[in-house]
Amino acid sequence: MIQRIQTIYLLLATAIMATIHAIPLAQLTNNEGIWDFYSYGIISISGDTSVTIDTLPIAVIIALAAILSFIAIFGYKNRKRQVKIAMLSSMFTLLFYPIALIYWWYSKDAVLATETSFNAIIIFPIVAFILDIMAIRAINADERLVRSADRIR
């Protein structure tokens, strides 16, 4: 059952969530310098100031969502558990936004940012959430197919 379509959905969701660690989510700017907002921290890339803010909870949430999506791929023998793991992954994916908003708001005040530009990668968790939901629907369709085949016997 590894060759099923839900495997592709879950693998894409895993790759998308893992990509978020490497690319900055936003860029904060003021008169003194520029800071990149990564999932693991806010780092100064120019200027004399060395303000570094740790955003570890964002990185943990993203890592948990990616790991759970990956684990769900190999739960094909127990489809009910696979659905639960995929749902948990989608919840962590959605939890990313409020946590990231809180850290962005805090860091904006900490570095006295006058301008914030968000990267397109900020949409990736929504795409991963949609892929998780599509995987859940495909897993449920497989479960219905197996149950209907059992009824025929």
Residue 4 pLDDT class (50, 70, 90 cuts): confident
Q: Which amino acid is at 113?
A: A
CA–CA gap between residue 127 and residue 125 (Å, rounded): 5
- CATH code for the domain of 35: 1.20.140.150
Tell me the backbone φ, ψ of residue 20, rounded to 5 degrees. -60, -30
Q: Is residue 151 part of a domain?
A: no
CA–CA gap between residue 132 and residue 114 (Å, rounded): 36
Read off the pLDDT of residues 92-107 as tens digits, 9 standing for 90 and up. 999 999 999 998 888 8
pLDDT of residue 65: 95
Read off the pLDDT of residues 35-82 as tens digits, 9 standing for 90 and up. 888 888 888 777 655 557 888 899 999 999 999 999 999 988 888 999
pLDDT of residue 111: 77
- pLDDT at residue 137 tops 90: yes
Q: Is residue 21 part of a domain?
A: yes
Q: Is residue 127 part of a domain?
A: yes
Q: Is residue 116 part of a domain?
A: yes
Q: Is residue 130 part of a domain?
A: yes
Instruction: Read off the pTM.
Output: 0.86
Q: Is residue 106 part of a domain?
A: yes
Residue 81 lies in domain: 5-145
Q: Is residue 150 part of a domain?
A: no
Q: Is residue 152 part of a domain?
A: no
Sign of CA dihedral 119, 64, 81, 5: positive
- Domain total for the chain? 1
DSSP annotation of 39 reads S
